[in-house]
Structure 1
Amino acid sequence: MLVKMKGRGVPLDVAFDAMWLQGTLKVSSQDTEYGTAGYVLEGDSAEVYTEAP
């Protein structure tokens, strides 16, 4: 899945952490430098995942 964030996206220091994402998921083939993605998430918001206590 390819994520395209609206606005500024997320800081690089958390970009590879587990995240909660909200947005619109679409079926779309997108070629990237890492391979072909079958889905695109047009991200509205993102926050670092934390477990509930």
Structure 2
Amino acid sequence: MASTLKPLVPLPPPSQPVVDAGGRMNKDWYLYLKELDRHLREVEERATAGGL
């Protein structure tokens, strides 16, 4: 059975710091972590519903 989960967005380059010198999170990392959170929540919902 094929998965309908969307693939994750690519991981930002390791050379990019997660937090900049001003203490703010890097935009690429923020978007990646936001998408990772959405992905994991979808997996959790499917597992709870028995749909994986």
Q: Is the pair's TM-score, using the shorter chain for normalization, greater than 0.5? A: no
Higher relative contact order (CA 8 A, sep 6+): 1
TM-score by length of 1: 0.21
Counting strand residues as a fraction of each chain, which structure ranks higher?
1
TM-score by length of 2: 0.21
Larger Rg: 2
Counting helix residues as a fraction of each chain, which structure ranks higher?
2
